[in-house]
Chains A and B, each alone.
Chain A
Amino acid sequence: MTDRKPDDLYDALRNRLADYGQEPPAQLWAGIKAQLPLPVARPQLRRRRRWSPVLLLGLLLAVVGGAAWQWWRTAGPGQSAAGTGQMATTGPRSENRTAATASVPPQAATDVAGAVAAGPNSPAARTSTGTATAAQATELAAAKNPLPAFQKNIDVTTLNRSAAATRGRRLAAVRSGNFSAGRADAAYAEPITAADSDAAASVPAMGAAASNTEKVAVRQETAPEASKTARPRVAPAEALATGDASPALPAVPLAGLSAPVAGVNQSQSLADSPQAGTNEDAPDAAGSAQNTAAAGAMLRRTPALALAGFPLPTAQLSADTAPAMPVVVAQRWALQLLGGPAQTFRTLGGGASLEPLPNRNLPPTAAGPASDNVIANALAEKEKSSTGFGLQVQARRVLSGRWGVSAGLGYQEYATRTDYSGPVSYTTYSVSGLPTRASREVSLRQRDTYRFATVPVRVSYALGQASKHLRYGLRAGTDVAVYLGGSTTRSAPSALKNNSPYRPLSLSVMAGLDLHYRVGPRLELLAQPHATYFLTSLPKPISGLTPRYLWGAGALVGVSYELR
């Protein structure tokens, strides 16, 4: 309007016709209404869009909360389970007792064992009594339950011998304070627990149970280790019954009594462990081991794991005082929740010429909007990149070797920014098809967004040697992107069904890195730097818009929870 000059004729025409109007026909509204989309369609879509972030956030919280709870639940008992090792198979009570024993300082434990020998509730006292009054105990056992009496005697004999052999070393080990929370400590405590469980009625029963659990310890450790395990029960007994460091004298008659059953026990539980054969009298009495009472007692024993087929090492294990690491077992399935920003932009198609399509190539109904998009096409060259973001929920499956695949659902927003003020040159086409160059002053400040629902499919390949916590690899895949809408000024031909100038379905490819950091038995933190490129142009050819290939580079971060 810069070239306008005052003119009476034009002013008169404007005065008469600017506000001129006429009543449209009555049926015109019906025709308009028939062409409008259903009124309920938009609110429904909008409500879905509004709830989708809330649902995703809820899902994220549920996964993170569940993973944290699972990690907490497994991390706490997992340490004690690892500390007790296989001894934990004897039952829950053993865990409690193990903890109780572990809490006692070694020196104090040794002292208490001797000091409270008279107390019937003290394991040390009970075993001491069983050893010190071996003859009485044998009689009591014979009167009440012959089998436990035999077992008790066997134990005492065995333990006395092993104790004699390793006494000095064991004492040093006990006093050195190394038995705090490790495997040796668990083995140390276990016989007391088992004895307590089996010996609710009598002292001999305690001895019998102690024999059972001791064998478990022998099977797990080595012969010297078993001797060490028995030490707390034997040492006070030696002190009380013999008064010196030689257990041989009281042990001889007991060994004679216990020899038959000892043979049974050894043949059944220690036969595979020659290093643990501390009872040399066992073969002499093997024939008398076939009594039903002994068989019943064995049936009550706690199942133990089979021994290895090769000789077990005899080196004494040092106490493991370090916190146990959780056992990491690779799971095949994992649920991944990812989200993060991306710097997004577009590549304009059409090569060097960014001119719009001539209107004559478009359907009549599309020609008008296409000409409207001439300015938009010219302004597309002025766009700059902007920040978008993406969210993904994926299920991942580890294939054999280093390969893994994943698929899921996602949401992606691409954005560009136009901040331009100045002349814009463009080409228009007359009805005859001749191009005409034109220019126009434009001032535009706008952020265009394109929102997609995506179906990501990924393949990953692990690189290098994975450490206990960190794994890394490559990741590539494709996204099927459904255009949800956006904020642009470009118009569409009314001939288009949904009146959108953009394709409803697009295809993009991505590639990037895949970093995993394990923070729990099943929980991993993820970081995935990546780049994405659209293989298909977003605008429809009929729209008259310059072809536009979106791309972005960013990083997704999230969590992975292994399912099974």
Chain B
Amino acid sequence: MPPPLAPVDETLLAACRRGESAAQHQLYQRLAYLLMGVCLRYCPSRAEAEDALQNTFVKIFTRLDQYRGQGPFEAWARRIAVTTSLHALEQHRLRHPAPTLDPDDVAHDLASPEPCAVEQLAADDLLALLATLPPGYRAVLNLYAVEGYSHQEIAELLGIAEGTSKSQLARARRLLERRLAAHHHPQLP
């Protein structure tokens, strides 16, 4: 059950800065649902997403003094969740190196789906579909399409070149379109 989307007020943040446990728990309840979704979109597994979410909240509570009120607090917390999840993803890739897939070799003969195909999918199904993408592609796609980052910002976050970000986004899009087409037309070869 998602909590009500009310902005986090300064009183609650001040109590959290003082280390009041009740206030911290209240802030956790407000943000955990949304930030869990963020972590799930980037992390390769639910277990790792839960770990990332835990680290996200620890960072939030220990760095509250760095939040200066420039923009909504939810956006600040969401950014921490994104960077923490990307870090978890990076650690996962270091521990489990996998061969790079060439999206051009995957389902190259599938038809491109309509954009409404995305909306016809349930959010959980769409997330499962995204999870089938290579982690790097999925991260760039999430950052660009869902979070709204620019390629320059993505390059900074991931430590890659801006051109790499663009090319990976293009490949991720192509791969997602084909996965969607395969999902809607399973009978096609």
**Chains A and B come from one and the same complex:** yes
Q: Mark interface residues in A428-445 (1 if CB within 8 Å of B CB, else 0).
A: 111100001010100000
Chain B residues whose C-beta falls within 8 Å of the C-beta of A448 in the assembled complex: none
Whether the Cβ atoms of A491 and B159 lie closer than 8 Å is: no
Supposing A12-B116, A32-B54, A32-B58 touch, asked if A440 and B34 sit within 8 A by C-beta, the answer is: no
- For this complex, 13 residue pairs linking A to B, each with C-beta atoms less than 8 Å apart, are A1-B148, A10-B145, A12-B116, A16-B118, A17-B127, A35-B58, A38-B19, A41-B19, A367-B90, A431-B93, A436-B159, A436-B161, A494-B59
Residues of A1-41 contacting chain B, CB below 8 A? 1-4, 7-25, 28-29, 31-33, 35-41
A366: min CB distance to chain B, Å:
10
A35: nearest residue on chain B (CB-CB)?
A: B58
A529 within 8 A of partner (CB): no
Chain A residues whose C-beta falls within 8 Å of the C-beta of B21 in the assembled complex: 33, 39
B contact set with A: CB distance below 8 Å: 1-2, 17-21, 24-25, 28, 32-37, 40-41, 50, 53-55, 57-59, 61-63, 66, 83-84, 86-87, 90-91, 93-94, 115-116, 118-119, 121, 123, 126-127, 141-142, 144-146, 148-153, 155-156, 159-162, 173, 176-177
Whether the Cβ atoms of B53 and A28 lie closer than 8 Å is: yes
A42 vs B19: C-alpha distance in the bound complex, in angstroms? Answer: 7
**Contact pick for B115, options A12, A18, A23, CB 8 Å:** A12
Chain A residues whose C-beta falls within 8 Å of the C-beta of B121 in the assembled complex: 16
| Size of the chain A interface, CB-CB below 8 angstroms | 56
**Contact pick for A23, options B33, B54, B93, B156, CB 8 Å:** B33
The 6 lowest CB-CB distance pairs between A and B, nearest first, are A39-B19, A21-B37, A368-B87, A8-B115, A10-B145, A12-B118
A34: min CB distance to chain B, Å:
10
Whether the Cβ atoms of B126 and A17 lie closer than 8 Å is: yes
Whether the Cβ atoms of A17 and B41 lie closer than 8 Å is: yes
A367 vs B90: C-alpha distance in the bound complex, in angstroms? Answer: 10
Chain A residues whose C-beta falls within 8 Å of the C-beta of B32 in the assembled complex: 23-24, 28-29
Chain B residues whose C-beta falls within 8 Å of the C-beta of A400 in the assembled complex: none
Chain B residues whose C-beta falls within 8 Å of the C-beta of A17 in the assembled complex: 37, 41, 123, 126-127, 142, 146
Q: Which of B2, B57, B83, B177 has its CB near the most chain A CB atoms (within 10 A)?
A: B57
A499 vs B62: C-alpha distance in the bound complex, in angstroms? Answer: 8
A165: min CB distance to chain B, Å:
91
A27: nearest residue on chain B (CB-CB)?
A: B50
A120 vs B17: C-alpha distance in the bound complex, in angstroms? Answer: 87
Supposing A12-B115, A35-B58 touch, asked if A359 and B159 sit within 8 A by C-beta, the answer is: yes
A489 within 8 A of partner (CB): yes
**Contact pick for B156, options A12, A14, A18, A438, CB 8 Å:** A438
Chain B residues whose C-beta falls within 8 Å of the C-beta of A43 in the assembled complex: 18-19
A18 vs B41: C-alpha distance in the bound complex, in angstroms? Answer: 10
A40 vs B116: C-alpha distance in the bound complex, in angstroms? Answer: 53
